[in-house]
Amino acid sequence: MSQISSLLDDVQMKQHGKHFWLLSTTQMLWDELEPRVSQLQLCAIRLACRQHSLTYEQSFVLQQCVQRLTQARRSIDRFWRRPFCFWQLVHEVDAMVLRILPESMLRERALSIRERFERKVKEPAQKRLYDDALSSCQPNTIPERDVLAGALRIINGQADKGFWILATNTVIQVMSAVILVLIFGGALIFFPSYFTDINEGSILLFSLLGAGGAIISNMMTKDPFILSVGPTTRYFVYYLFAKPVLGGFTAAFIYLLVKSGDFLAKPPSPFLMGCIAVAAGFSGDRLLGATMDKVMANLFKTSEKALVKPEAFARDG
């Protein structure tokens, strides 16, 4: 009990501290953590009032919840926060605390879980599995605690996956913008002569412009990830390296085709060649990138770690 009280005092002090006046992510995390610690303390008080000593299971669950909430509290103060870690910890506590909540507190939580499950879970198999068990969420009846914990894990799992996709997409978009600025800035600074006199050495320039066109295509695409859940490094390599390389290859191919001059009455101007390179990289990602997405979707079709059905993520060719 003393650990919970100490943790609650610390969280409340942080909650109303230097971040209180800011509408920041840090403030939102403190606001999410404080009611969970308060509920855990209330749960411990009510359990202690009803019996002289807690059972071993109740003591163990309380201890585990305190440990996880303490870890979540420490993750907020880190310079480089890990929001995935924070939400995973607090969601684990949400499911664990259901096993020890007094019935007076559990009834309200059961109705809330039932409402959220009906609103957010759309998978037919999951709905068939839990609908009958949760249908007993009436004012005078409470489903089994394990059923409530399982349903809550499904709800929170969907929220965690959606947050993970959003966060990773945002980082990729920002890094794509930075790379795009570097590509076009470098093209204007280090290769100015290639815009006034087309020569064989300008293939590097047009490959870079083609990579920039592919990055523009990526930034305009809002498709979810087609890869299985795992280390996020693979997504950065795929979107920030593999696809720009494909766009650069397409632009280089078009450049060599245009340089052959067999079907052109007049060589295009350097500026027009730059526009062609960007358009070639953009189109290459749209056409060839769609094929890459379908191939990778087929590779991960049978993966047990698939986020959702991979076919849904492949863009139409």
Angle, helices 25-50 vs 83-96, to 10°: value is: 20
**CA–CA distance, 159 with 302 (Å, rounded to integer):** 23
**CA–CA distance, 76 with 19 (Å, rounded to integer):** 12
H helices of 135-202, where? 145-190
Q: Give yes or no for a contact between 226 and 192, defined as CB atoms under 8 angstroms apart.
A: no
Q: What angle do CA 162, 150, 312 make, to 5 degrees?
A: 35
Q: Could you tell me which of 177, 106, 100 has the C-alpha nearest to residue 142?
A: 106
**CA–CA distance, 195 with 97 (Å, rounded to integer):** 66
Q: 206-244 burial, b for 16+ CB within 10 Å, e for fewer? A: bbbbbbbbbbbbbeebeeebbbeeeebeebeebbbeebb
One pLDDT digit (tens) per residue for the chain, 317 residues: 677 788 877 777 777 765 544 456 777 888 888 889 988 888 888 887 765 677 888 889 899 999 999 998 888 877 776 777 888 899 999 999 998 888 878 888 888 888 888 888 888 877 777 877 776 555 556 678 888 888 899 888 888 887 877 777 888 888 888 998 888 888 777 666 665 555 656 778 888 888 988 888 888 876 555 544 555 677 788 788 888 888 888 888 887 777 776 656 666 777 787 888 888 889 888 887 777 777 766 665 555 444 444 444 344 43
Give the alpha-carbon dihedral of 53, 59, 61, 67, to 10 degrees.
140
Reduce the DSSP state of residue 198 to 3 states and report it.
coil
User: What is the reported pTM?
Assistant: 0.67
Q: Give yes or no for a contact between 274 and 193, defined as CB atoms under 8 angstroms apart.
A: no
